[in-house]
Amino acid sequence: MNILFIGDVCGKPGREAVKRTLPQLRKQLELDLVIADVENLAHGRGASPGTIDEIMSYGVDFLTAGNHIWRSNDFEYILGNYPIIRALNYPDDIPGKGFDIIEMSDQRRVLVATVLGKFGINDSVATNPLRALDDLLEKVDYESLDAIIVEYHGEATSEKVTTGLYLDGMVTAVVGTHTHVATADERILPNGTAYITDIGMVGTMNSSLWVKSDIVVQQMKYPYSPRYEIEDKGPLKLDSVLIRTDGPKKAEKISRISKIL
Ligand SMILES: [Fe+2]
Ligand SMILES: [Fe+2]
């Protein structure tokens, strides 16, 4: 099965990049399933029903959400009414679910889970990501699944690579998101799990992770700065990875698929 996992889609430029690339990629790469992180989908801050409907119309099947999903007032509605997960390592009273099993039209089943990292993520509610994954994988019925995809939404490369090695041979793929900067370390780990530290982002290429860079310069130089605005000038970039699965515990291949528009 061919699964495309798209990095954080950022605002209107990000949605535009998905619109201009995904329909063609779906055919070219013979994609069975497309997953995208949508924590920055609506003007960089969370997602809205309208922006989710829009990217699903371009061919995204399933959505994941990192630490910024809570920035939109629509989070509760979205997490209850769309094919989307938030981080697994939250207490039970937080809206939404931390993992889901996608039932595909040809009966294949794919489990997707997201965890939030610890270092540099300003979220005091999230619990230990590895322990949350332990609890999930202990209960998983491997026989009934065709693939397991784990997204590690975190800042620290060390946490991500360590999680990849920890889950090697237990899941199909461990992919990183959140930094918005793609890494070049995609590989199949020794026991068969596909891995990349960070997929990257989708949006305006020459921006501070989606924000106009002069605003972030002011933030870095002064203790006061204007509100973040989305950068909408210049080329767009789409970062994603293609995972060719080989059951719920290993992958055949992982490759970076990036487009500059
Ligand atoms: Fe993000
Ligand atoms: Fe994030």
Q: Which of the ligands is closest to the CA of residue 153?
A: 2
Is 40's pLDDT higher than 90?
A: yes
- Taking the centre of ligand 1 as the mean of its atom positions, its distance from the CA of residue 141, in whole angstroms, is 31
Please report the sign of the dihedral spanned by the C-alpha atoms of residue 22, residue 23, residue 29, residue 35: positive
Give, for 52, the enclosing helix (H) or strand (E). helix 49-57
As a whole-number percent, the residues of the chain with pLDDT over 90 amount to 99
* Structural domains in the chain, sorted by start: 2-260 (3.60.21.10)
- Taking the centre of ligand 1 as the mean of its atom positions, its distance from the CA of residue 166, in whole angstroms, is 24
pLDDT at 143: 97
pLDDT at 123: 93
pLDDT at 119: 96
pLDDT at 117: 98
- Which pLDDT tens digit goes with each residue over 135-155? 999 999 999 999 999 999 999
SS3 of residue 135 by DSSP: helix
pLDDT average, residue stretch 194-217:
98
- Which pLDDT tens digit goes with each residue over 165-187? 999 999 999 999 999 999 999 99
Instruction: Give the other-Cβ count within 10 Å of 258's Cβ.
Output: 15
As a whole-number percent, the residues of the chain with pLDDT over 70 amount to 100
Give, for 128, the enclosing helix (H) or strand (E). none
pLDDT at 261: 97
Q: Which of the ligands is closest to the CA of residue 123?
A: 2
pLDDT average, residue stretch 105-120:
97
Could you give phi then psi for residue 148, rounded to 5 degrees? -130, 120
Please report the sign of the dihedral spanned by the C-alpha atoms of residue 10, residue 123, residue 117, residue 127: negative
pLDDT at 225: 87
Q: Which of the ligands is closest to the CA of residue 180?
A: 1
Q: Which residues contact 177 (CB under 8 A, 6 or more apart)?
A: 7, 8, 37, 64, 66, 151, 152, 153, 198, 199
Is 201's pLDDT higher than 90?
A: yes
- Taking the centre of ligand 2 as the mean of its atom positions, its distance from the CA of residue 154, in whole angstroms, is 7
178 an active-site residue?
no
Is 61's pLDDT higher than 90?
A: yes
Measure Cα distances from 129 to 119, 132, 139, 176, 220 in Å: 11, 5, 16, 13, 30
- Taking the centre of ligand 1 as the mean of its atom positions, its distance from the CA of residue 155, in whole angstroms, is 10
- The Cα 229–Cα 123 span in angstroms is 23
Could you give phi then psi for residue 11, rounded to 5 degrees? 60, -165
Measure Cα distances from 57 to 31, 34, 69, 101, 207 in Å: 15, 12, 20, 21, 26
- pLDDT mean across residues, the chain: 97
- The Cα 180–Cα 200 span in angstroms is 4
Exposed, middle or buried, 208 (CB in 10 Å: 0-12/13-18/19+)?
Answer: middle
SS3 of residue 7 by DSSP: coil
